[in-house]
Amino acid sequence: MPPPTISQLIARHAPTEGKQPLSGDVTGICYICALPTEQGQRRPPSDVFTAWAACAQGDVLCPDCAATLNYRDVRMFSWLATEEAFRVNGRGDRDWLWDVLGDPPEPPYGLYISKGGQKQGWISGVRQVATSRATIPVLTDWTDRPVMLRRADWETYAPLVVTLRAKGVSKQALMTGDYTANQWAKAIRDDYADALRQAQQYAGDPRWEIVCYASRKPDDSGDTAEPKPVATGTGGAYRPLGLDLPGR
């Protein structure tokens, strides 16, 4: 059996009613997920839909994709979708992206990271559901395709991100590689300039950007400022991370 689509994972957790009908009676191919349906509708998702460039060749909107597009949280937040639950990074349930990248759930699952909360960036990877824990197809709203984050990438990037975040380097600076003269002076004085140079070489790589974006800010005490310990290796039992918390 093929893995589900992103919209099939989310639709089971989405609201069952919307401003427009979520199912119809037209047979065709869905222009979002490219799967056949007998319950399609010949309509756009909304009057202001702008993500046509990411859509497939189809002629109808299927019920699962209609329900997913109708679910505002899908556009507004970063999220993790599994067969059991849909978890958003918001509304009092934050800072868990790092844990999921280091210790992903059992497949199938879909992971989406949104910076702006305005785009339906998941559409370009609607068929890219994770089928293993060794490689995560991360969907984002700033890349035009899924980013394949391998375990080896995580084990390379995460310790460096932990080190530099603990020194007070912001995730934005890490993502762009743009550091001020004061930041360089502090790095030289505190003996982590080599780490900063290494991080600068990774800037612009979407895999690096994802790990940086998921990192936690330093704690208020000004001490270690470290996220939770980095998980390494491919073994270990999966911890559900509270997937039954409110978020839908």
Tell me: do 49 and 156 sit in the same domain: no
CB-based contact 221:59 (threshold 8 Å): no
Q: Indicate the residue type of 188.
A: I
Tell me: do 77 and 184 sit in the same domain: no
| pLDDT of 18 higher than 90 | no
Q: How far is CA 97 from the centre of its chain?
A: 8
Tell me: do 141 and 157 sit in the same domain: no
Tell me: do 166 and 135 sit in the same domain: no
3-state class percentages of the chain: helix first, strand second, coil last, to nearest 5: 35, 15, 50
Tell me: do 57 and 115 sit in the same domain: yes
Task: Single out the residue in 94, 117, 145 at which a domain terminates.
Answer: 145
Classify residue 237: in a domain, yes or no: no
Find the domain containing 190 and state its range: 151-214
Alpha-carbon span 243 to 13, nearest angstrom: 12
Q: Is the peptide bond before 63 cis (omega within 30 degrees of 0)?
A: no
pLDDT of 62: 97
What is the average pLDDT across 109-133?
95
Tell me: do 73 and 159 sit in the same domain: no
Tell me: do 187 and 155 sit in the same domain: yes
Task: Single out the residue in 100, 122, 145 at which a domain terminates.
Answer: 145
Classify residue 238: in a domain, yes or no: no
Tell me: do 119 and 173 sit in the same domain: no
Classify residue 234: in a domain, yes or no: no
Count of domains observed in the chain: 2
In the chain, the N- to C-terminal Cα span, in Å, equals 28
Q: What is the pLDDT of residues 126-135, one digit of tens each?
A: 999 999 999 9
Tell which wins on pLDDT, 230 or 145. Answer: 145
Classify residue 176: in a domain, yes or no: yes
| Residue 245: half-sphere exposure toward Cβ, Cα within 13 Å | 15
Tell me: do 117 and 201 sit in the same domain: no
Q: Extract the tokens encoding 213.
A: 């974006």
What angle do the packed helices 193-202 and 151-166 form, to 10 degrees?
A: 140
Tell me: do 141 and 164 sit in the same domain: no
Residue 231: pLDDT band (50, 70, 90) is very low
Q: What is the pLDDT of residues 22-75, one digit of tens each?
A: 999 999 999 999 999 999 999 988 878 888 889 988 999 999 999 999 999 999
Tell me: do 125 and 182 sit in the same domain: no
CB-based contact 141:89 (threshold 8 Å): no
Predicted TM-score (pTM) of the model is 0.84
Share of the chain above pLDDT 70, in %: 88
